[in-house]
Amino acid sequence: MFDPQTDRIIPKLMATQHPDNASAPFWGSGAFISTSEEVEEIYESFFRLGCDEYMWDWEGKFTDEAMIERLLSGHIEDLREKQLGRDRFVTLRIPNIWEEKSFKLARAYMSVLSACELTKSLELSTPPIFELILPMTKSADQLLHIQKTFKQTAKVHEEIFGTERFGSGYIHIVPLFESVEDLSGCSAVLEEFLKGHKEFFGFYPTYLRVFIARSDPAINAGFPAAVLACRLALRELGRLSEKYGLPIYPIVGTGSLPFRGGINPENIEKSLPQYQGVHTVTIQSAFRYDYPLEEVQEACNKIKLALENVEAPRFSDTEFFELSEIIDVFESFYRPTLESFAPFINEMAQFVPARRERALHVGLFGYSRGVGEIRLPRAITFTAACYSMGIPPEFIGVGRALRSLSESGRTDLVERHFFTLRHELSHAGKFLNLENLEFFARTESWAKEIMEDVRISESILGLSLAPQKDHHLLHRNLTSNIVVKQRLGDDFTDDLVEAAVMRKSLG
């Protein structure tokens, strides 16, 4: 029942519903995945790809509240062998009620409790879901509020319906930190949470999983700032684990393109070492569906092997504070350019096709995200819009920041902690359309600044940022078509999707 878990498998591969796939899934007929198809997606993720966890997302999207029942009804024999909550895990990402209207949270609680009743009636491992992810975690009070209200909901359910007992009503909570400030300062929030947890429950958690975002920090502060903030967070989680003698298992949310994490089937050996200390990696839609099935299966196995022995990064307090200052430098060049670039990104974002049944992110149904005073699309759409113009967002502010850091003798420290920087920028550079950038630079300051970033990055890092293979040249041509057709008012939807297929990720 709902009591603290003391002996459980920690998943290595978390399949998610992030809508970044350009192509149709290997098990489906179209690139758009409806809510009703997500049941089949869970099964395929578990039994064809070998993922051991699936994130059931209730944040900002429509959800099939009977998903667990449908999953068990359709695949009961396989799920008797590999049981939910014991061998395979469904982890629910709840809406953040401090950012989004709260009416979905109660429904999420009831779905978790109902799933527990169902699996018990089928004589399966119970409960099938015992962890909730809280997006945009800002404080310990938020985490404790979720645990307390779930406990109260379980008690009320018992009192009203009287058909089931839910143990102590305890639910594990997974904080998701989504800005560079929250990542670098995560240990303070978690320490306060641990103390509050002990005060309320009388004990510390048996373990703690912590979710590190990669996409939103990159939008807020730029590509290198997000990677370095992730590094700071992993260091802090290792120190916190040692201090309290508490197992802490970080999760990192990585998409396929470098800006959103750089984890894809072609890139495992070179990109995964950047996330030293991580126990669980997200396997998002582009990873699963934009590569041949055999490559995806092989890549999943490689990640599992790589995560067998995990050690958190260790470095001094001095380096921690120096890296925090370096993050500020990258952000200081990134944000002003982004603010000027934003209207062009928002205009292109309108044409990026949907891949899931998302609710509106304004007004009644949710919230918008932005940087400073500007509003921006969600991370996948943001990244897709930039790449569709042939202007990978990885480069925004980077060259000028590297020049500034070089003048103060700090580029070695950057590369010591962001040791995949050259590789990731080189990969993004294959999709750079310099002609488009030069066209925009005739009239737009942001384009001139990004051109400067590209040239300085090439000089300092010794890179050649340009298409390298035939499909990169085709991608460049498609992005040229997109920019011209947009200017003429012609339809460029097919070009946009074809370019996404070429780079093996929508955004």
Per-residue pLDDT of the chain in tens (507 residues, 90 and over written 9): 899 999 999 999 999 999 999 999 999 999 999 999 999 999 999 999 999 999 999 987 788 888 999 999 999 999 999 999 999 999 999 999 998 766 789 999 999 999 999 999 999 999 999 999 999 999 999 999 999 999 999 998 888 887 678 999 999 999 999 999 999 999 999 999 999 999 999 999 999 999 999 999 999 999 999 999 999 999 999 999 999 999 999 999 999 999 999 999 999 999 999 999 999 999 999 999 999 999 999 999 999 999 999 999 999 999 999 999 999 999 999 999 999 999 999 999 999 999 998 764 443 333 455 666 688 999 999 999 999 999 999 999 999 999 999 999 999 999 999 999 999 999 999 999 999 999 999 999 999 999 999 999 999 999 999 999 999 999 999 999 999 999 999 999 999 999 999 999 999
CA-to-CA dists, residue 243 to 112, 127, 139, 187, 191, angstroms: 33, 31, 20, 11, 10
Number of domains in the chain: 2
* Domain enclosing residue 349, as ranges: 317-503
| 249/322 same-domain check | no
Tokens, residue 406: 């070089």
Total-model pTM: 0.96
Our CA angle for 433, 466, 408, nearest 5°, is 105
Asked if residue 473 is part of any domain, the answer here is: yes
CA-to-CA dists, residue 178 to 334, 351, 411, angstroms: 17, 26, 26
Asked if residue 2 is part of any domain, the answer here is: no
| 494/389 same-domain check | yes
List, in order, residues 6 or more apart from 309 with CB less than 8 Å away.
none
Asked if residue 385 is part of any domain, the answer here is: yes
| 247/387 same-domain check | no
Q: Taking a C-beta distance cutoff of 8 angstroms, is the pair 240, 200 a contact?
A: no
Asked if residue 87 is part of any domain, the answer here is: no
238, 253, 268 - which closes a domain: 253
Rounded Cα–Cα distance for residues 187 and 183 (Å): 8
* β-pair partners for 56: 92
DSSP at 393? G
| 376/486 same-domain check | yes
| 365/231 same-domain check | no
